[in-house]
Structure 1
Amino acid sequence: MIAAVLVVAGVATGVVVGAGSLVKGGGRAGVEEVRWAEGITPVWMGEQMGLDVPAGARSARAAYKVTSRFDTGLLTFTLSEAEAEAYFEKYPPSGRWLTPTAAQPDTPPSDFARFGLPEPETLKDGMRYGYVCPGAAAEPTASPDPFGMGSYDVSDEKCVRAYVYEYAPDRARLYFRTHFEPGVDSLPTPLSTPSPAR
Structure 2
Amino acid sequence: MSSVGGGRRPRLAAGLAVGVLALAAALVATGRLPDGTDDGSDRLAEEAADARWLEGVTPGWMSEQMGLDIPVTARSLRAAYEVTSRFDTGLLTFTLTRVEAEAYLKEHTPEGDWLEPTSAAETDVTPHDFAHFGLPEPETLKDGMRYGVVCPGASEAALDPHAPGVDTSDASCVSLYAHAYTPTRTRIYLRDHYEPGISPLPAPPSSTPTG
Q: Would you call these one fold, judging by a TM-score over 0.5?
A: yes
Deviations 1:80-125 (A, max 9, x none): 1111112123212221011122311121111101111000111111
Partner residue in 1 for 2:124:
106
86-95 or 178-187, which deviates more? 86-95
Give the Cα separation in 1 of the matches to 2:74 and 2:135: 17
Closer/same/farther in 2, CA of residues 88 and 40 from structure 1, 3 Å limit: same
Counting only pairs closer than 5 Å after superposition, residues 79-158 of structure 1 correspond to structure 2 as: 79-101=96-118, 102-137=120-155, 138-139=158-159, 155-158=169-172
- Alignment partner, residue 33 of structure 1: 50
Question: What is the RMSD of the two structures over their aligned residues, measured on CA atoms?
Answer: 2.3
Does 2:42 align with 1:48?
Answer: no
The correspondence for 1:14, drawn from 3, 8, 15, is 8
Q: Kindly tell me the number of residue pairs found equivalent between the two proteins.
A: 155
Consecutive unaligned residues of structure 1, counting only runs of 5 or more, are: 1-12, 18-29, 142-154, 192-198
> TM-score by structure 1 length?
0.72
* TM-score (norm: length of structure 2): 0.67
Report Cα offsets for 1:23-75 as digits up to 9, x if no partner: xxxxxxx9742101111000110010001111100000000001111000000
- Does 1 or 2 have the higher relative contact order (CA < 8 Å, sep 6+)? 1
Counterpart of 1:59 in structure 2 is: 76
Contact persistence 1:96–1:140 (CA under 8 A): no
Query: Which of 180, 185, 188 is matched with 1:171 structurally?
Result: 185
**Contact persistence 2:81–2:90 (CA under 8 A):** yes
The alpha carbon displacement at 1:140 in A equals 5.6
Out of 38, 51, 72, the position equivalent to 2:89 is: 72
Residue segments in structure 2 that go unaligned for 5+ positions in a row: 1-6, 12-45, 162-168, 206-211
Higher Rg of the two aligned structures: 2
4+ residue runs over 6 A deviation:
none
- Contact kept? 2:98, 2:180, Cα under 8 Å: no
Change (3 A) 1:81 1:113: same
- Kindly provide the amino acid, as one letter, of the partner of residue 148 in structure 2: G
